[in-house]
Amino acid sequence: MAVASILMTALMQALVSASDSWTKQSRTVGAQREGRAAMRILADDLRSMVPILPSVRRLTDVTIGWEKAYPGIPQTGKLSGVVPWEEEEDEVGDNRTGFWLEGGAGTGVNSRLAFFRCTEGTARSGDLGRGDLRLVLYGTVVTRDPAASGLSGAKLSQKLVRRVLGPMETHNRLRAALELQQPIVMEEDWNGLMDAPVEGSDTTVSVVAQDVVAFKATAFDDLLLERYAVPVLPSQLPRWMDITLRLTNAQTSQWLETEADWRGQGSEGSRLTRGTPEDYRDDVDVRTYAMRTALPGRT
């Protein structure tokens, strides 16, 4: 019995060690797989970006009054009484450039990113003549997922969502921007990021990554000096972009029951940050993925 007790103790220690090792591996494998796949999708989209620059937007005949365009500046006889509408300095209207980046500054604040990309897919018969230009939107959404089994309740999770508009809808938005001075992306687009596409639409909605702790996009122009210069307007197309994506695992996310928890705050937020939200090195339950990419049209 003494020999059997010694053998059983050794066997139990081996089983506990193997169980701990398996648990640690299962917590990282899922996040690794999703993180790498998400970064590949983002890189492919950014490489296919098509900037809609001011020189292209000036093809429109829509104009605005002189006083609205240049308040306080007297009009001379040599100058026309109207100017192209795209010269109006308007942060919302400037979204017509076809690039939009906002948020991401500060702890718990995620980025929202929108741009045009050129696809190689075959257009449907109804889209012939509209080209293959698509509007792409990236943003995070906190939703409550249904329970995986009857033994557990619904789980709150934060996802990175990718919404891609079809060629027809993209064409209509560009036309409305040029002819009616409407912004290409509006607040309701972000509020309905995960809404199901309208029947008959070529829009696609996909969850790029589950259990997202942070999605940060930083834009800058100066690469040699590593001096970050965030554009004055969210719609100003930069030269370079840094993307940071942080994911946790399914086991840890079970404890995050509020949106504040997912921001690293709340009663359970310390499980993600270990009390140091700006220092990622001690976040054992969070995987961090980062990439730097040059944007087309500005290199």
Nearest to 142 by CA among 108, 186, 106: 108
In contact, 132 and 123? CB cutoff 8 Å: yes
Q: How many domains are contained in the chain? A: 1
Any domain includes 261: yes
Any domain includes 89: no
Tens digits of residue pLDDT in 105-151: 666 789 999 999 986 555 454 444 456 889 999 999 999 887 555 54
> Rg (Cα) of the chain, in Å, rounded?
25
Any domain includes 196: yes
Given this model, what pLDDT does residue 73 score?
60
Task: Kindly write down the DSSP assignment for every residue of 137-155, as one continuous string.
Answer: EEEEEEEEEPPSSTTS--E
Domain that holds residue 168: 29-64+94-294
Q: How far apart are CA 231 and CA 99, in angstroms?
A: 12
Tens digits of residue pLDDT in 47-94: 888 877 555 554 444 444 555 555 566 655 544 555 444 444 444 445
Any domain includes 190: yes
Any domain includes 205: yes
Tens digits of residue pLDDT in 263-276: 888 888 888 888 78
The answer for 243, left when phi > 0, alpha when psi is -120 to 50, beta otherwise, is beta
What is the token pair recorded at 194?
């995960």
In contact, 241 and 225? CB cutoff 8 Å: no
Any domain includes 23: no
Tens digits of residue pLDDT in 225-263: 555 555 656 667 788 889 999 999 888 888 888 888 888
Any domain includes 9: no
pTM: 0.76
Any domain includes 1: no
CA distance readout (Å), 65 to 58, 85, 206: 16, 9, 43
